[in-house]
Structure 1
Amino acid sequence: MQLSDRIGRRIKLQDLHILMTVVQAGSMRKAATLLNTTQPAVSRSIADLESAVGVRLLDRNPQGIELTPYGRALLDGGEAAFDELYQAVKNIEFLADPTAGEVRIGSITPLAAGFIAAIIGRLSRHHPRMVFHVVATQVETLHRELTERNLDLLIVPRLDLFNDDQFTFEALYETSYVVAAGADNPLVKRRRIELAELMNEQWVLPPPESALGPIYSEAFRKSGLAYPRTTVVTMSPEVRMSLLTSGRFITIFHDDALKIAPQRPEIKALPVRLPIAPVANGIVTLRTRTLSPVAQLFIDCAREVAKPMAKRK
């Protein structure tokens, strides 16, 4: 009997689920506790899987278990299979009731507060039973969550982090970057400021090695300047905005961060020309993943909401 025949007849989804739990837990004993079953039952499921594929999937050692290369290959395929089944169930739910369903979106905070909120506002009016799971966090975390299929799609700036062949990027509209300060900062009253004049100011910036770092570094490099001495190093846009309101700090934001005003009228753009080309904001998805109809509906709405913004650019 060929391997493909053994797989079709003998591999069980439950056994794959048990393998995934064993790897997550680090031992069969802990996995048995999580699954509310016995350790012999867990061992039997792993043995059945190994018999079905004809190779050892786990190495046992005093510290617990470790996947063999064969086990890693099966686990990767198993995770993708479970995700596809999850999407299939969601597709069935959507076909049964096109007005319902859920979508999981990831983005950075300024885009989530502005652009994504506008999409949700439009969709929820026409599909009040749709559920939107929005994760607003750093792009490095979004990259991991999308890769692990915990999110359906991202709305983010075009960054090198997503240039890998496993991703697709669809540009929606472009955004520019500005130097920002609190409304009480004396610099706000200036009519024109050169970037070099700000090198001794109290900067709040992400670390240059972060995903956004190269964009900021380019602005200083093209102005013949080094990355400034940073008083506060943080990835959090909320922390940066909060510090700006004190009137003592400055930072660089893309202008979407200021467009979520009037809830933050105390943040102002300074009259500084940054030599940074506009950066595209767009949709990132996994190339090999089939999106649910609800996720596709969200993408279609995102394109419509972005059209007037793209024309303004």
Structure 2
Amino acid sequence: MSMSSTLSDRFVRSHLKMRHLILLVELGRHASIANAAAAARLTQPSASRLISDLEHVLGIQLFERMARGVVPTWAGKMLIRRAGVALAEMDAAHCEISTLLSGIGGRVAIGSVLTPATNILMQAIKLFKARSQKASLVVDFSTSKSMVERLLDGQLDLVLGRILDTAVVPLLNFEPISDEVHHLIVRAGHPLVGRDDLQLAELVEQSWIVPPTGSILRDRLTALFLSAGLAPPAETVETLAVPLVVALLTDTDMLVALPKELVQAQLAAGELVALPFDLKLRMDAYGIITRRGHVLSPGAEILADALREAAMAELDASRKRQAA
């Protein structure tokens, strides 16, 4: 065992107490030692002493004492986040024990980017419910960045998405599933349908449906136009809601960059059309993301296995479609 591992083990086993974790979490919520102490059911002198003890053991300042309260340093922020995860783990353990004792199958929470939800996630949910009928499943959709943040905070068990922040890579496990090819989608009667001479300069003048600022697709669309010396489209609607995207595409001359899987039914019915223009947009592979060192609950493990199985089935189906 290395010296750093020995020191870390000694810190956790000999110095760190549950009341430290509770106080740290409350200090993350309150910029006041008095308020944090009250929330943690401690006296203010006891809370101040606990902070001083941690700072002495770690040899670093955790909080800056200001006139109107305290502000965590970078080390303080790190401990606060880790303390929140540790308490979330213990709360999850309590919930698992309680639900198993009561005969209920427990609760599993997954976050997902949109595209996998169209087929892989849907098939995985069907497998999950068949194998864990009493379990409660919570599914949320957002950008990969926000989902990973919630995963690290212990609010989610798994994420089906991408890791965009290299700083959190050491904290996560990633099992890649697939890449996404984005196509320009419009309504069947759109004025651009049938054109084989489309230019990016013409497309930038169109009305676009775009994902929110900060998403990887939005960033790459912006980079696409800027690299061609063009300003990004000025007339846009920002949304991640697929039903609204489909409705806007069907009833207006707006266009969107999407994987075909999201609107496969409308493409098959002839309501929407993919324009013959290669945006050359390739997204990073998405996959199953979990916290490194975290033991999944039985229900979350069943869901992870179902995702792997559904992903393999989708890959096989995709290969057969291409072969045909």
For the aligned pair, the TM-score class normalised by the smaller chain equals: 0.7 to 0.9
Q: Aligned match of 1:78 in 65, 83, 106?
A: 83
Given that 1:172 and 1:283 are in contact with CA atoms closer than 8 Å, whether structure 2 keeps it comes out as yes
**Structure 1 match to 2:52:** 50
Unpaired runs of at least 5, structure 1:
none
Q: Which secondary structure state, in structure 2, belongs to the residue aligned with residue 243 of structure 1?
A: helix
Matched, 1:143 2:145: no
Unaligned runs of 5+ in 2: 1-6, 320-324
Counterpart residue identity of residue 49, structure 2: A
Matches within 5 A, 1:28-39: 28-31=33-36, 34=39, 37=41
Q: 1:200 to 1:58 in 2, by over 3 A?
A: closer
Residue 16 of structure 1 pairs with residue 21 of structure 2 = yes
The aligned residue for residue 155 of structure 1 is 160
Show CA shifts across 1:117-168 (max 9, x none): 3211221122111111212112332232223332222112x46446853333
Give the counterpart letter for 2:66 in structure 1.
N
2:256 matched to 1:236? no
TM-score of the pair, normalised by structure 2: 0.74
Match of 1:41 among 37, 43, 50: 43
Secondary structure at 2:306 match in 1: helix
Counterpart residue type for residue 46 of structure 2: R
What letter matches 1:292 in structure 2? S
1:82-111 Cα shifts (integer Å, max 9, x gaps) = 244345446656886998222221112343
AA matched with 1:271:
L
Aligned match of 2:274: 270
Q: Give the distance between the partners of 2:46 and 2:56, measured in 1 at CA.
A: 15
What one-letter code is carried by the residue in structure 1 that aligns with 2:180? T
1:294 to 299, 303, 312: 299
Decide which structure has greater strand share: 1
Counterpart mapping for 1:90-105 below 5 A:
100-105=105-110
What is the TM-score when the length of structure 1 is the normalising length? 0.77
SS at match of 1:276: coil
Superposition pairs of residues 203-282 of structure 1, within 5 angstroms: 203-206=208-211, 210-216=215-221, 226=230, 228-238=232-242, 239-259=244-264, 261=265, 268-276=272-280, 279=283, 280-282=285-287
Q: How many equivalent residue pairs? A: 305
The whole-number CA distance in structure 1 between the counterparts of 2:35 and 2:233 is: 48
Is this contact kept in 1: 2:181–2:281, CA < 8 A?
yes
Q: RMSD between aligned alpha carbons?
A: 3.9
SS at match of 1:212: helix
